[in-house]
Amino acid sequence: MTTVHETEPTGERASTSRPPAGSGRFWTLRRQDTLSGWLFVLPQALGFLAFVLYPLIAVVYYSFHTSNVLSGVTKYAGTRNYSQLVHDPATPSVARATVLFCIGLVVINIALAMLLAVLLNQRLRGTTVFRTLFFSPVVVSLVAWTITWNFLLQNNGGINSMLHVVGIEGPNWLRGDNSALVSVVIVQVFKNVGLNMVLFLAALQGVPRSLLEAAEIDGAGAWRRFRSVVLPLISPTTLLTTIVTISGSLQVFAQIQILTEGGPNNRTNVLVYFFYQQAFDNHDFGYGSAVAVVLFAIILVLTLVQWRLRKKWVFYES
């Protein structure tokens, strides 16, 4: 492969644009290549600088300042915003909600996606219909999906009405101390499980049948074949879905805003929603920025840790 890459352009250049050796032209071939490269990446680079890097630096800057949006006055505050986060009475509740939401979402989402993928990987009639059914929420608008669930989960909403028909008094899903977080997790799981399911399905279809047949001949049962053959072979997909789901769980916002607004009593107030409240509800951009920096650091550390640990639990990497 390397040989082809090196020879093809050289052949073209030799016949078209290579300047005579020692001509002293400013636009040498190397410079032309460099300029072309920069021009190709310029649109993307400008977008990255303007909408990613600059805001990122600005957030870090603001996290060390107090900023009154209305008066427009910004003052240096040292580490006061970070200290405020440590001592804020809401911080334990926010941390608890964030951790529980993350664990609940990752465990249920990955387990359910894997289960659905295994079921849909069987050669049975109607699997295409179910595959479409489970994947369809992924392409539905997040806000429309959440608003619909908001109606269903009201105390006098659709779910409790159905439960009432069969003689069960359902809880007040979005107002209960424990049911609120569970409800938000379930809504999010149903929204995105289809995506992970498709990824697992693709991975399962890449597992060689010969290995499974060999294991079967060796006397391995269905569970043993899954645990010892399938699971290791799909471990790169498990790593990918876990990283993406954890990262997504720490960025959940619209569902919280529409369903619970962080309540009741901060039970569903995850870190990213807390950041929004501080920065945009309370107009405290300094404190909000400090929360955002902490959130960024958590996501970065978690991703790095998972990446470092991948060799221990990913069977192979291509």
* Chain contacts with other proteins (rule: CB under 8 A): 12, 16-17, 32, 35-36, 39-40, 42-43, 46, 50, 68-72, 89-90, 153-157, 172-175, 261-266, 277, 280-285
Q: Which is nearer to other proteins, 41 or 301 (CB)?
A: 41
Rounded to the nearest 10 degrees, what angle do helices 127-139 and 179-205 cross at?
130
Q: Which is nearer to other proteins, 250 or 284 (CB)?
A: 284
Q: Which is nearer to other proteins, 28 or 136 (CB)?
A: 28
Q: Nearest approach, Cβ of 165 to other proteins (angstroms)?
A: 16
The phi and psi torsions of 74 (rounded to 5 degrees) equal -120, 130
Integer CA distances (angstroms), 95 to 53, 101, 115, 298, in order: 27, 10, 30, 12
Q: Which is nearer to other proteins, 44 or 205 (CB)?
A: 44
Q: Nearest approach, Cβ of 1 to other proteins (angstroms)?
A: 21
Q: Nearest approach, Cβ of 108 to other proteins (angstroms)?
A: 23
Integer Cα distance of 309 and 316 in angstroms:
13
Question: Using an 8 Å Cβ cutoff, are 277 and 262 in contact?
Answer: yes
Q: Nearest approach, Cβ of 95 to other proteins (angstroms)?
A: 15
Q: How many CA atoms lie within 13 A of 287 on its CB side?
A: 20
Question: Using an 8 Å Cβ cutoff, are 283 and 68 in contact?
Answer: yes
Q: Which is nearer to other proteins, 29 or 214 (CB)?
A: 29
Q: Nearest approach, Cβ of 178 to other proteins (angstroms)?
A: 12
Geometric angle at alpha carbon 171, from 168 and 173, rounded to 5°: 135
